Structure formats: structure tokens, C-alpha cells
Structure 1
């Protein structure tokens, strides 16, 4: 898999739709054990949803972790500093593949990040071990790898035209596991786990909105791999655009875009 470069502006073009699953995840997180909680947001991106944590826990010390310099720069400019309730919001570089908590946390939360981390379930033991008694580990990941947006992309990169350059740039199809596997792994670590899935039907606006959406996320490895060849990139995008238009036809009020997501909230025994 190619390590993608990230574009905060492109990612934030659909910020409202992307933030809704985080808000739904946050609503299921129970009260935290500390009066001034210590919180980690693993894979914070541009920090727009990390800031929602400060609204829920105004006195918390919240650190957003990410491995993208561009995302961290955006997060620091827009969100870093003291919070209105007397807490603190800061950001730091970290790679979720190897990140190990250096202190106890009341909450470790991750939004649409772990699908980029091969073998992420093997990291759960370290993360839940770092929780204070009564603390919570919560995450949300996309569960739409079988959707047309992803299937068409995989088919295209494996085609005769592109396989020599792109066949190995995308994540494997098992980048996200089933809800049952997540439930089993979390309960096996001694946590009380709540795991569920939801399919959102986002109504997207504008020309080729599904292509615009994936340019901010799943298409990033392809955009990165072809960045030095604008002609080839435009050729790929033209082919993919045509396939997406057929798979996601525009309706009278916009383009419906079904998007399945998997959620988990695991509370450590108090």
C-alpha cells in the first residue's frame, strides 16, 4: 500500500457528512472517570472533530495525534490552545501503527483511521491497557469496502492499463474486520463492548460528488502514486469518473451515496 499524501482542504469539502459518524460515536461514549480527563484522538486529521471532544469535556486535556504534517498544521492553526472550559487542546505527530500511550488515558478515540493501520486489532491490547479504570476506547471505521466506489477503484487499478503502476497501492480488502470480530477482540481484553454498524445515505451536491468525496480519502494512494504524471492521473480520473457516474446517478435533489460504517465503544472495568 502506498503511503498517501493528505490534502486537508479536499478532506474538509465534505466535513459535515464526515463529522456525523464521529458525533454518533461520541454520543455512545459513557462518562469518563477523571474530573479533568486525559483524552487521545488517534488519527485526528485536521482537528475539526477533535474540537468536539472539548465541547463534551470542557476541562479535559485533549491531544490529537496524526502522521500527516499537512493535517497537523491545519489542526494547530484552527484548533490548538486553551479551551473555553479551562482545558487544553494540542496536537502531536504519531503513527497509529506503533503509537504506544506514554501515560494513562480516560479516553482513547479514533475516527475513520484504523482502516489505514494493518493489523490494528493487535494494537488494542496496548491501548486498552493504558486506560484508567472505567476508561473507554472507542473507534469508528468505514465498512464500505464492498461498495461500488471501492470495487470500481480496485478493478481499475488491476486492469491491464494500470496494474503495473497501481496494483499494489490500495489497501487490502480486509483492511476492516467484521463487527463480530471487533466485539470478540474487545470483550476478550476484559472490556464491556458495544459494537454496531450504520449505513448513512449521504445526499451529495455538485458535479461528480462521489469522485470529489473519494479524492479526500480512499483515492489518496492513487493520487499520490500518479502525482508526478499529470497526464496519466487525468486519464485514470476520467475512467473512474465515468464508472462512478453510472454507479451513482444523480437524482433531482442530489446524488445519494450509501456509506456503511462500523462503531465500537469498549469500557474498561472500573
Structure 2
């Protein structure tokens, strides 16, 4: 089994689809039962896209973004110089002090066992505080299944076998039960968006910013192998997601949870 290297992130590639990537966060924001949070932390802030939305909505708040990628943090600091951005591994992050809002968008799927940190994270909520997140829930979609099968094929198993695993995401009902068990009032749900992606090899281009990062990192020292892998994976995606007149339709399931402390 291949030992997965720490993915190297490409903020520019990630932001190529910033519109549809950000849409679930707007839906999450609309369900937050918090009016004027004084202290906010954005877990897995990436390039600061959603952190900027938090700053726009609550300009007086003290906002801290946390991420494991220095590439993403550099982009976030340039985007939002008025906020604080810190390097942190969410697998070991412990809150300091209290927060009115702890929020995350599309980060927990990279953190195995993130639900085990819920007691510590929600324990840092001030009275009336909110813990809210959204995560992808599309790990049984063709984009992920085909990638896993290709990595495990005879041609790629030696270099990429074991590298591409399902995201560590629970069903909405299980998130609700865990958070309610901590004494919080919880709203949990799921939504499947049908994104319309423009251009050629649109789904491949999308995955280059997220799902493919571990593979691209593992092959980074071999341009020929990278090109060959992308060609093979791209062909599989074109068959699974054929382009149509409006563009390429890309169904994408998201899981949401909003937990409120009375």
C-alpha cells in the first residue's frame, strides 16, 4: 500500500471553480442561528474564499482561518489581510478560549476521525455559539470510484495503490446524533447540486483542484506518468460525464450540520 504524501495544493487550480465550490457555503450561512459573533474560526480555510464571506457578513468579528497548506494560507493572507491565518493540522487542533462560531467548508473529509474532536470543539462554544460545517458526500460517485479503480489497476497499483481512499464523512443522521449527544440543538441535512461545468474535460479540471491532489503530488517528479494518468482518467470521466449543450452536468452531494448551544 502506498504511503500518501501530504498533498501539495494549487490555489489557482482550486479557484477555477470557485462559484460552484462556494455555493454550499452560502446555503450553510443562511441556516446559522447567530447574529453578531465576536470571535470566529474557519477550520480548513483554504485560499480564504469563504473566510472573506464571513468577514463581509460580520466585519467587526475577530476571524481566524486555519489550514494545513502553506500554499493556501499565502493566498488567504493576500485575499484578506485583515484576518488572522494560522498553520494548523485539524487532527490535533484544540481551541484556545471560547468562540461564537466555529465553521468549516469542505475540509473534514480529509481528516479521519474528525467526529472524535467534536466534544473539544463544541466545548469551546460560548453561550449561544454555533458549530457548523459542510462536507462533500459524493465518494460513491463515478468521479471517485473511477479514480480509485484506476489507482488500483495493474498499471498504477505499485505507485498509487492505496492512495485514493473514500472521504471520511458520516451520514447526516449520525452527525446529528453525535452533536445532539453533546447537548446541542442540531439541524443536519444533505443536498445534491447539479453543477454545470464549462469547457473540455470539465470534471477532470474540477478534480485537479481537490480529489486528484494526492495523486498529482505522488507523481509530481514524473511529468510523463502524470500526463499518462491524466489522459487515462480523463477518458473515463468523459464517458461517465458526457458534455451536453449547457455544459457538463456534475451531480455533487453535500452534507451539512449546524449545532447550536443554548
List per-residue Cα deviations over 1:179-216 (Å, max 9, x = no partner).
11111111011110000000000000011010000000
- CA distance, structure 2, for counterparts of residue 47 and residue 155 of structure 1: 33
**TM-score normalised to the size of structure 1?**
0.94
| RMSD of aligned residue pairs (Cα, Å) | 1.0
The residue that corresponds to 2:62 in the other structure is 61
| From 133, 142, 145, the counterpart of 1:139 | 133
1:140-159 equivalence runs, <5 A: 140-159=134-153
Unaligned stretches of 5+ residues in structure 2: none
- CA distance, structure 2, for counterparts of residue 36 and residue 157 of structure 1: 44
- CA distance, structure 1, for counterparts of residue 21 and residue 51 of structure 2: 13
- CA distance, structure 1, for counterparts of residue 138 and residue 237 of structure 2: 15
Assess if the C-alpha contact under 8 Å between 2:7 and 2:214 holds in 1: yes
1:123-138 equivalence runs, <5 A: 123-138=117-132
The residue that corresponds to 1:13 in the other structure is 16
List per-residue Cα deviations over 1:122-144 (Å, max 9, x = no partner).
01010000000110000000000
Structure 1 runs of 4+ aligned residues shifted over 6 Å read none
- CA distance, structure 2, for counterparts of residue 2 and residue 176 of structure 1: 21
The residue that corresponds to 2:50 in the other structure is 49
- CA distance, structure 1, for counterparts of residue 232 and residue 238 of structure 2: 10
Measure how far apart 1:2 and its partner are: 3.3
1:23-42 equivalence runs, <5 A: 23-32=26-35, 37-42=38-43
Unaligned stretches of 5+ residues in structure 1: 82-88
**TM-score normalised to the size of structure 2?**
0.97
Assess if the C-alpha contact under 8 Å between 2:64 and 2:86 holds in 1: yes
- CA distance, structure 2, for counterparts of residue 22 and residue 146 of structure 1: 22
The residue that corresponds to 1:116 in the other structure is 110
- CA distance, structure 2, for counterparts of residue 146 and residue 155 of structure 1: 12
